[in-house]
């Protein structure tokens, strides 16, 4: 709810922003995270704001019945590779099944523009780099598999309707709002499964004794995994461009990344410089479901949408995110 309160403070005008606490799933008591926001008649589903228990798809249908939406931006998903290997059914339900419900609700109410947040995890571990949009999708973990299934649902359905669809395959998201209003505040129980930036910051703040790097024997330049780290500010810009370029009867699929890879060891060194902290590093065996090297070829999104990453300095992005972390020791509860 913390991020919602921030947004409500930024846009207090009556009717400009509507928050609807709603369910996306079925009767199973499985927790998920999602928020419905209406902002200038755009229906957006965010994945990091509110946690609740799923009950039925009634509220989703009700929301579409009682409101007029021009577009859906679907961000809602659990998104931890490690967690997906230990709780696969939760991921298939949360990502694939719930996306089906959203698309069905859109179809019933004639909403024909969808911007879908997907992931580079749908590619798995390709034989060649960089990854293009035509690289075969062979996901190796439940998170990537669930996202690919959701993509397939959207693409297959779009062929039967005059839909405007944009699928954005994110690479590894880092950073924070440069104005210090919004930042990353994951659930505490996900620290072991969470993203490397969060783990680095927890180690720098002394919340955990050190950083655990999983896997040092990959076939990469220093033995650790290589990833394409995309700043969240650039990611937001990509969504704005995608919405502006969405056209009826067209499906656009785009990689959203910087086009270069950084190793985990390089990331940790950048984090040490950004935080000024001496972070203890413990090297462990590989984590199930991880892949050695993944980075994007972003030339298609540049050509079609005139988008390219601007915040490509790893240390700078981490410095911005560290500023928010220092000012919010208890997340949004500060």
**Catalytic residue annotation:** 143
Q: Where are the beta strands (DSSP E) in the chain?
A: 17-20, 31-39, 42-53, 71-74, 113-119, 164-170, 172-174, 211-214, 226-227, 229-231, 250-256, 262-263, 281-284
Residue among 171, 154, 172 nearest 163 (CA): 154
The HSE-up count of residue 68 (CA atoms within 13 Å, CB side) is 1
Instruction: Give start and end residues of each alpha helix (H) in 172-296.
Output: 196-205, 232-245, 264-275
Residue among 148, 165, 7 nearest 73 (CA): 165
Rounded CA Rg of the chain? 19
Residue among 181, 109, 106, 99 nearest 146 (CA): 99
**Cβ distance 161 to 106 under 8 Å?**
no
Burial tier of 308 (Cβ tally within 10 Å: 0-12, 13-18, 19+): middle
170's tokens: 């994110």
């Amino acid at each position: 709810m913390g991020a919602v309160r921030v947004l409500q403070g930024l846009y207090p005008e009556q009717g400009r922003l509507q928050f609807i606490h709603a369910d996306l799933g079925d009767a199973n008591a499985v927790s998920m995270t999602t928020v419905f926001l209406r902002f200038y008649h755009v229906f957006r589903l965010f994945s990091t704001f509110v946690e609740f228990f799923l009950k039925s798809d009634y509220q989703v249908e009700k929301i579409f019945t009682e409101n007029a939406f021009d577009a859906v931006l679907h961000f809602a998903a659990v998104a931890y590779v490690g967690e997906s290997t230990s709780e696969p059914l939760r991921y298939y339900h949360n990502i694939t099944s719930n996306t089906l419900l959203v698309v069905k609700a859109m179809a019933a109410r004639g909403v024909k523009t969808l911007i879908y947040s997907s992931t580079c995890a749908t590619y798995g571990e390709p034989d060649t780099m960089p990854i293009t949009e035509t690289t075969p999708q062979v996901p190796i973990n439940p998170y990537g598999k669930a996202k690919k299934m959701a993509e397939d649902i959207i693409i297959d359905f779009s062929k039967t309707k005059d839909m405007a669809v944009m699928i954005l395959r994110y690479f590894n998201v880092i950073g924070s709002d440069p104005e210090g209003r919004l930042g990353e505040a994951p659930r505490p129980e996900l620290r072991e499964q969470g993203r490397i930036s969060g783990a680095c910051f927890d180690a720098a703040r002394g919340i955990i004794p050190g950083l655990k790097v999983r896997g040092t024997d990959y076939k990469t330049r220093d033995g650790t995994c290589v990833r394409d780290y995309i700043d969240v500010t650039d990611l937001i810009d990509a969504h704005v461009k995608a919405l502006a370029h969405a056209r009826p009867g067209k499906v656009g699929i785009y990689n959203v990344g910087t086009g270069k890879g950084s190793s985990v060891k390089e990331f940790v060194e950048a984090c040490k410089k950004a935080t000024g902290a001496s972070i203890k590093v413990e090297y462990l065996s590989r984590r199930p479901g991880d892949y050695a090297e993944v980075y994007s070829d972003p030339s298609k999104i540049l050509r079609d949408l005139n988008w390219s990453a601007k915040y490509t300095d790893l240390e700078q992005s981490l410095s911005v995110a560290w500023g928010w972390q220092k000012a919010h020791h208890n997340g949004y509860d500060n």
